[in-house]
Amino acid sequence: MFDFDATLPLMAVQFLLLAVVLNAIFYKPLTKAIEDREDYIRKTENEARDRLSKAESLAKQYEEQLAETRRQSQAIVAAAQAEAQKISAQKIAEAQREAQVKREEAAKEIDQQKQTAMQSLEQQVDALSRQILDKLLVGSA
């Protein structure tokens, strides 16, 4: 069972040869493949992370722009509303003034006509009263 002979050194040499051969056809190429893959994955991951951060910054920029635009539009709407209010107030004031003027004119005309009517009425009263007087005087005479 324990007979040592030339098997031992030959097996050792054979083993070393196997290690050298496997190093050339197994360990080196596959180690290289594994490490290349790791590099590739790391590189791609970094790229993806870069792109993600870039996309995020872009999205943030767009959001800022959107908010800015919304603020501007609100300001424009508010300005337009204020202007419209001003115009409407102005128009209302103008109309009121005009109405006032017309009302005063009408009142003045009414007064004038009233006076003319009064005057003619007074003349008629004079004439009538003279006639009455004449008739009375004639009747009594």
Partner 1 sequence: MLSGFNTFNTFTLAKLEVGQHFYWHIGNLKVHGQVFLTSWFVIGILVIASLAATKNIQRIPSGIQNFMEYALEFIRDLAKSQLGEKDYRPWVPFIGTLFLFIFVSNWSGALLPWKLLKIPEGELAAPTNDINTTVAFALLTSLAYFYAGFRKRGLGYFKKYVEPTPILLPIAILEDFTKPLSLSFRLFGNILADELVVAVLVLLIPLFIPLPVMALGLFTSAIQALVFATLAAAYIHEAMEGHGGDEHEEHS
- Token digits of residue 47: 């790229």
Is position 141 an interface residue for partner 1 (rule: CB under 8 A)? Answer: no
Separation of alpha carbons 32 and 26, rounded Å: 10
Q: Interacting stretch for partner 1, rule CB under 8 A, among 1-9, 77-85, 104-112, 128-136?
A: 1-9
# residues near partner 1 by CB under 8 A: 32
Q: Interacting stretch for partner 1, rule CB under 8 A, among 34-42, 92-100, 115-123, 131-139?
A: 34-42
CB of 38 to partner 1, least distance (A): 11
Separation of alpha carbons 97 and 102, rounded Å: 9
- Token digits of residue 95: 């109309």
Q: Interacting stretch for partner 1, rule CB under 8 A, among 19-27, 75-83, 102-110, 127-135?
A: 19-27
CB of 51 to partner 1, least distance (A): 21
Separation of alpha carbons 57 and 112, rounded Å: 82
Separation of alpha carbons 86 and 92, rounded Å: 10
Q: Interacting stretch for partner 1, rule CB under 8 A, among 25-33, 60-68, 76-84, 89-97?
A: 25-33
Binders in 39-58 for partner 1, by CB under 8 A: 40
Residue type for position 88: S
Separation of alpha carbons 138 and 127, rounded Å: 16
Binders in 77-116 for partner 1, by CB under 8 A: none
CB of 60 to partner 1, least distance (A): 35
- CA gyration radius, the chain: 59
